[in-house]
Amino acid sequence: MRPDVISSTNGSSHTLNGSPASPSQKAAFPLSMNGQALHTTSNGDLHTNGSQKSRLNSSTYFGHDREEVTRILIQSLYELGYDGAASLLSKESGYQLESPAVATFRNAVLEGRWAEAEQILVHSFHYERDSGRGGRRTEQHPTKERLILVEHAEKNEMLFHLRQQKFLELLEARDLGAALIVLRHELTPLNYDIGRLHALSSLLMCPPEHLHDQAGWDSPISSSRERLLSELSSMSQLKSSPSILTHNSAESISPSVMIPDNRLAILLDHVKQNQINQCLYHNTANPPSLYSDHMCDRKDFPLRTEIQLTEQRDEVWWCSFSHDGTRLVTACKDSTVILYDTDTFTVLHTLKEHTDGVVHCEFSPDDSKLITCSQDKTARVWSVETGRCLLTINHHRQPVTSAAWAPDGETFVTASLDLSTQLCYWSMRGHNLHSWDGGFRVQDCTMTPDGRRLVAADLEGKLHVYNFATRDEEYCLTTKSRPTSVAVSKDSRYLLVNLADNQLQLIDLNTTEVVRRFQGQKQGNFVIRSVFGGAADNFIVSGSEDSRIYIWHKENGTLVEVLEAHTRGCVNSLSWNPANSGMFASAGDDYMVRIWTKERDTRPGAAAAKHRAVSGNGFARTSALRSTSRF
């Protein structure tokens, strides 16, 4: 709820639309702080918690604009449901949240009264043009609602956004005739963003089940209308997925009169994120408290080897925990796959039906099934409970390098070095549901957790990003060297790419920008599968050809730790336990899988880590997967 009242501009004693908001006009009300009432001493001084309160008439609050702070607090109280407190604060301070024009415009958009919203918008542009852009103010209709616009606001751009929303809602309602009229007679005459106009017209032929995905809508109408308001008023720039709605739009309505929604929450998020960014060992999903500054203890970070798994008889090329953290799978050059119980790290099943090295394993979303990919040119699906092989995919003519489950847990994608069938989509009945064209060899692939995108890395230094619902390629990125592995963050936003030139890149999947680069590890010849680590994906973790493990802070790029991990050769694969942020596993050429835990958790008698670095130089490697130059 927002009061239909007049707002002042930034600056405590300025006026807007002729309505004063002076501190001298504020009424006196009882105040409290931290739950304790203000009290007056015998000499008349006002105190709170023993501190003198003498800033009531100041235009600043500890260096911040007093009006901005107060109005943001009023907005937050309404959002928290404390309407009475918000009204009281507004009355006592003399500051109002929104003008009648803003409230009317907001309600018109949220309720889909597009003609009324456009009328307010157009009148606001006429008023600004006549009064503030070189002409005299003409008050022919002084009672009409108007918005305060920023100097660079463009009328056609704002009208386009309003009419685009109207068009998309008509499409969703399957009123194609009305949608076509809006497209032809309302959107086209604006002559704004012809490319997007063509994209909108293509939606007329889009199946209903794909409309939200193609239009970039991932929420109901009410939420999309709220996003439209934020688009027009907030200072943040919208950078959505490469879709119909993608654009960078600076604010058009001045934030001083239409405060962006949830402004205090956003500011608090920035405070918390800054604390996390400054905390090198932040390894908890719980956000920092606002009551005090935050810093994690290094002793709570997994830096010690608690257990060494020695059942493997050759180089270990893969390790990964199940989604619930109760299982660990390892895959070996000798073609065996081992499933462990992570409570005791005893062997549950040893899977032996592959005839060549196993390079990749993937648990289904519900952890009931496991896909294994092998250099024997097959992929197999297993029951995690029984260890029985449920399905064999022998469609590929070259090694199967990777696999990814769809969110339904009943279909999956396999990737291969086969030029003719490099990327295939399968059902659990073994039916080929789709094959992607391209004529390239896929080194690795992954699915975003939200199921929207499939990413494939080829041997030619390209990253192919597909819309999984439509099967279309959204875009293709070129890297400077060969990518050896790809991984996606839990929020489906960031792609981690391991490159053969000793570099990892963090790429924003929405903007395609390289957000950060990580360097230090040694890589040039072999496949290393790097991962996100920590309770909230706060870390980047990579193996290395020098037998070490490298851990970086994801947000600030700091190299947090270099661990002397394995005794020889390459550290090939890592996995952070999703259910226990204080545990991760590493797999190496020394035939071992090591379980790393935090120092406080190390059990008496557990095997100690062997802290020595043995170079992998000269250590024989025969894997065709490791060196794919023969193709």
Instruction: Summarize pLDDT for 462-502 with one digit per residue, the tens.
Output: 999 999 999 999 999 999 899 999 999 999 999 999 999 99
Kindly state the tokens that stand for 359: 């390079």
Geometric angle at alpha carbon 253, from 248 and 255, rounded to 5°: 95
Which of 70-79, 228-237, 272-281, 506-515 is predicted least confidently? 228-237
pLDDT band at 524 (very low <50, low <70, confident <90, very high): confident
For residue 81, pLDDT beyond 80 = yes
pLDDT band at 131 (very low <50, low <70, confident <90, very high): low
Report which of residues 548 and 617 the model is more confident about: 548
Percent of the chain having pLDDT more than 70? Answer: 79
β-sheet bridge partners, residue 341? 327, 346
pLDDT attached to residue 121: 86
β-sheet bridge partners, residue 565? none
How many helices (H) and strands (E) the chain has is answered by: 10, 35
**Alpha-carbon span 17 to 146, nearest angstrom:** 10
**Alpha-carbon span 456 to 442, nearest angstrom:** 6
Mean of pLDDT values over 160-182: 92
Mean of pLDDT values over 445-456: 96
**Alpha-carbon span 513 to 493, nearest angstrom:** 11
pLDDT attached to residue 313: 93
pLDDT attached to residue 1: 40
Report which of residues 602 and 291 the model is more confident about: 291
Number of Cβ within a 10 Å radius of residue 576: 24
Mean of pLDDT values over 595-615: 53
Phi, psi of 573 (to 5 degrees): -150, 150
Cβ atoms 49, 37 nearer than 8 A:
no
Residue ranges of the alpha helices (H) in 234-301?
263-278
Of 532, 135, 163, the C-alpha closest to 171 is 163
pLDDT band at 37 (very low <50, low <70, confident <90, very high): very low
- Inter-residue long-range contacts of 549-552, CB under 8 Å, 24+ positions, other chains counted: 549/574, 549/586, 550/518, 550/520, 550/521, 552/518, 552/520
pLDDT band at 90 (very low <50, low <70, confident <90, very high): very high
Mean of pLDDT values over 229-234: 74
For residue 351, pLDDT beyond 90 = yes
pLDDT attached to residue 195: 87
Max distance between CA atoms of the chain, in angstroms, equals 92
pLDDT attached to residue 258: 80
Report which of residues 39 and 529 the model is more confident about: 529
pLDDT attached to residue 273: 87
For residue 248, pLDDT beyond 90 = no
pLDDT attached to residue 539: 96
Phi, psi of 485 (to 5 degrees): -160, 155
Query: Class of 298-597 per CATH?
Result: mainly beta
Mean of pLDDT values over 432-461: 95
Mean of pLDDT values over 397-407: 97
pLDDT attached to residue 70: 94
Which of 56-60, 448-452, 531-535, 568-572 is predicted least confidently? 56-60
**Alpha-carbon span 102 to 409, nearest angstrom:** 47
Q: Is the dihedral of CA 170, 175, 178, 180 positive or negative?
A: positive
Mean of pLDDT values over 319-346: 97
pLDDT band at 214 (very low <50, low <70, confident <90, very high): confident
pLDDT in tens, 91-106: 999 988 888 888 888 8
**Alpha-carbon span 16 to 71, nearest angstrom:** 15
Which of 104-108, 127-131, 286-290, 602-606 is predicted least confidently? 602-606
Mean of pLDDT values over 144-153: 73
Mean of pLDDT values over 172-192: 92
- In terms of average pLDDT, the best of 33-47, 50-64, 104-118 is 104-118
Cβ atoms 573, 320 nearer than 8 A:
yes
Kindly state the tokens that stand for 98: 């929104």
Cβ atoms 372, 399 nearer than 8 A:
no
Percent of the chain having pLDDT more than 90? Answer: 58
pLDDT attached to residue 146: 74
Phi, psi of 402 (to 5 degrees): -165, 170
**Alpha-carbon span 524 to 136, nearest angstrom:** 69
**Alpha-carbon span 475 to 229, nearest angstrom:** 29
Mean of pLDDT values over 510-515: 95
pLDDT band at 128 (very low <50, low <70, confident <90, very high): low
**Alpha-carbon span 214 to 207, nearest angstrom:** 10
Kindly state the tokens that stand for 423: 């990327």
For residue 442, pLDDT beyond 50 = yes
Of 345, 426, 321, the C-alpha closest to 379 is 426
The 3-state secondary structure of 455-500 reads EEEECCCEEEEEECCCCCEEEEEECCCCEEEEEECCCCCEEEEEEC
Q: How high does pLDDT run on average in the chain?
A: 82
Kindly state the tokens that stand for 194: 């012809």
- In terms of average pLDDT, the best of 20-34, 142-156, 175-189, 250-264 is 175-189
Helix-helix angle 221-233:155-172, to 10 degrees? 170
pLDDT attached to residue 628: 36
The identity of residue 115, as a single letter, is A
Q: How far is CA 471 from CA 205, 258, 379, 444, in A?
A: 16, 40, 22, 18
**Alpha-carbon span 594 to 616, nearest angstrom:** 18
Which of 153-162, 312-321, 412-421 is predicted least confidently? 153-162
pLDDT attached to residue 130: 55
Q: How far is CA 290 from CA 34, 65, 265, 535, in A?
A: 14, 21, 12, 20
The secondary structure element, H or E, covering residue 379 is: strand 379-383
